[in-house]
Amino acid sequence: MSVVKETFGETSDGLAVDVFVFGNATGLKVKIINYGATIISVEVPDRDGQLADVALGFNDMMGYQGADNPYFGACCGRYANRIANGKFTLDGAEYSLAINNGPNALHGGLVGFDKKIWAAEIIGDSVKMSITSPDGEEGYPGTLKVEITYSLDDEGELRIDYTAETNKKTVLNLTNHSYFNLTGGGSVHGHVIRINADRYTVVDDEAIPSGELRAVAGTEMDLLAPTPIGKNTDAVRGLGYDHNYCINQAAEGELTLAASVVDPESGRTLECWTTEPGVQFYTGNYLNNVKGKGGAVYNRQEGFCLETQHYPDSPNHPGFPSTELAPGETYAHTCIYKFGIEG
């Protein structure tokens, strides 16, 4: 195992951005920058040992700071996913958030964690990134201190450990927004996915939950058995999958296999493990002529996301698992993306 730090570039404001390069014994290589705590590439061997970059992204900071960046590989926060009308009530006080997705708040607001420079240091075979969000930033209460530790092992596990503390009661929902394509390019319709969830959160046309947790059985949302991503995509409400699945956990906070994906063409596999109660399965429905790495152009459903998190709009749904964080408590969340080759 090895981790090295290199220079990636500068922001439009002239701030230096570093890239941390992880490598393991199988040839797997991961690159993460401290702008947005962003995973910018994941090179994985196929069944013949040929490497391909399976993470969508950009060549440089111009791309990551550009208007076309759909959160490629970034940490989303303070609140990943949507909060209806950018409002919630906490202990009787109403909070109004920055609006950036129609009438709603999405992924932390106008300048979320995905657009921040994180402090970063190599600790052994890991990289710890940290940031402090002041009280009131983007409308959220409390001064929040967040740490993310990235590590890679020789079994192909890219592990992301999040912790956070606040000095005032707040709400918090963090995730990683990597887009994957295990072939290395083209449509992901042929990828075969299984999601370990009996239910999902029903949403309206603006992707806001109604509060209903509906059974997937017998519907186009049923991914309990291995299913090609493209099989039922056209039957899914909206442009394709962009839904939170309620993971079948034996106990709250238990590390659980949320989803597994196989690319029959390359033989590459991906398992997604998490301690969170939900995973947002998104099939890149809004990708449209996005100019990415190495001359690639990304279009609709040429990448998929498995965003481990709490349910969308949880602060406005008392029946959902709580996203509240109080002083003296520690937010903790683990996500593992495990890459391999099918036997």
Contacts of residue 287, Cβ cutoff 8 Å, sequence gap at least 6: 70, 179, 298, 299, 300, 301, 302, 303
How many of the other CB atoms lie within 10 Å of CB of 336? 21
Task: Measure CA 212 to chain center.
Answer: 23
Residues in the chain: 343
From the list 50, 150, 139, the residue with the least C-alpha distance to 93 is 139
**177 an active-site residue?**
yes
Contacts of residue 92, Cβ cutoff 8 Å, sequence gap at least 6: none
The residue annotated as part of the active site, out of 107, 137, 165, 177, is 177
The residue annotated as part of the active site, out of 307, 310, 317, 333, is 307
CA distance 91 to 324: 10
**265 an active-site residue?**
no
CA distance 135 to 166: 9
Active site residues: 177, 307
